[in-house]
Amino acid sequence: MASGAQNDNNSQATPNTADMNPGDDAPPGTPGTGEDVCPDCSGKGKVQGGTECPNCGGTGKVIKGVAGG
Ligand SMILES: [Zn+2]
């Protein structure tokens, strides 16, 4: 981010969905959500063969809603 970045388009406080992984319910930091162990890789961040887990992006964690359900 070296060039003059202006926030013309994003005047609203939209969650940064770019940080989301397929297994996330919401972007990191979203109120009412929390980290959970990725069910696909059991928190290892890798699936069989050593490939980075696509569900959690290799973090071993996914964001899940924790608000009372
Ligand atoms: Zn995973």
The model's pLDDT over 3-62, given as tens digits with 9 standing for 90+, comes to: 665 555 544 566 678 889 999 999 988 899 999 999 999 999 999 999 999 999 999 999
Give distance in angstroms: CA of 21 to centre of ligand 1. 9
Phi, psi (degrees; rounded to nearest 5) at 13? -85, 75
Give distance in angstroms: CA of 55 to centre of ligand 1. 5
Q: Mind giving me the DSSP string for 1-68?
A: --S----SS--S----GGG--TT-SS-TT-TTEEEEE-TTTTTSSB-TTSPBPTTTTTSSEEEEE-S-
Give distance in angstroms: CA of 28 to centre of ligand 1. 15
Average pLDDT over residues 59-67: 89
Give distance in angstroms: CA of 36 to centre of ligand 1. 10
Give distance in angstroms: CA of 29 to centre of ligand 1. 19
